[in-house]
Amino acid sequence: MDARADYERLCREILEHDRRYYVENDPTVADVEYDRLFARLRALEAEHPDFIVPWSPTQRVGALPVSAFPKVVRAVPMLSLDNTYDENELTAFYERLVRGLGGARPALVVEPKIDGIGIELKYDAGEFVLGATRGDGTIGEDVTQNLRTIRALPLKLTRPVSVEVRGEVYMERAGFEKINAERVRAGEEPWKNPRNSTGGSLKLLDPREAARRPMKLLTYEVVGDGPAKTHFELLAWMKQLGLPVSTEIARVETLPELLSAVEGWADRRMELPFAVDGVVIKVDEIAQRRELGATSRAPRWAIAYKFPAEQATTRLLQVDWNVGRTGAITPLGHFEPVELGGTTVKRASFFNANQIRRLDVAVGDRVLIEKAGEIIPYVITVMERAHNRRPIEVPANCPSCGTPLVREEEQVALYCPNTFGCPVQKARSIEFFSHRDAMNIEHLGPSLVAQLVERGLIGDVADLYDLTAEQLVELERVGPKSAENVIQAIAHSKKTATLSRLLIGLGMPGIGEVWARAIAEHYQSLPKLIAATPEEIEKTLLEIHGFGDERASAVARFFAEPRHREVLEKLIARGVSPSEPKIERSGPLAGLRLCVTGTLSRPRSEIQAEIESAGGVFDKTVKKGTHYLVAGADVGATKLNDAQKKGTRVIDEAAFERLLRGEAI
Active site residues: 113
Measured distance CA(73)–CA(584) in Å, rounded: 10
Measured distance CA(574)–CA(569) in Å, rounded: 9
Nearest to 16 by CA among 154, 128, 150, 149: 154
Measured distance CA(470)–CA(179) in Å, rounded: 36
| Whether 415 contacts 329, CB under 8 Å | yes
Which amino acid is located at 364 in the chain? G
Residue 565's contacts (CB-CB under 8 Å, 6 or more residues apart) are 530, 559
Element (H, E) at 13: helix 2-22
Nearest to 492 by CA among 441, 452, 443: 441
Nearest to 221 by CA among 243, 250, 254: 243
DSSP 254: S
| Whether 299 contacts 81, CB under 8 Å | yes
Measured distance CA(343)–CA(174) in Å, rounded: 14
| Whether 173 contacts 273, CB under 8 Å | yes
Measured distance CA(420)–CA(63) in Å, rounded: 44
Measured distance CA(291)–CA(311) in Å, rounded: 41
Nearest to 506 by CA among 445, 424, 443, 565: 565
Enumerate the H helices of 203-314 as residue ranges.
Answer: 207-210, 231-240, 255-268, 286-292
Measured distance CA(97)–CA(107) in Å, rounded: 10
Measured distance CA(320)–CA(316) in Å, rounded: 12
Q: What are the phi and psi torsion angles at 532 (to 5°)?
A: -80, 145
Element (H, E) at 431: helix 423-434
Nearest to 286 by CA among 218, 220, 219, 226: 226
Measured distance CA(165)–CA(238) in Å, rounded: 9
Measured distance CA(501)–CA(578) in Å, rounded: 9
Measured distance CA(144)–CA(120) in Å, rounded: 10
b/e code 455-480 from CB counts within 10 Å (16+ = b): eebbebbbbbbebebebbeebeebee
For residue 333, the cross-strand partners are 319, 348
Measured distance CA(582)–CA(524) in Å, rounded: 9
User: Exposed/middle/buried for 664, CB within 10 Å: 0-12, 13-18, 19+?
Assistant: exposed
Measured distance CA(130)–CA(384) in Å, rounded: 55
Q: What separation in angstroms does the CA of 274 have from each of 146, 595, 641?
A: 20, 47, 60
Return the SS3 of 101.
coil
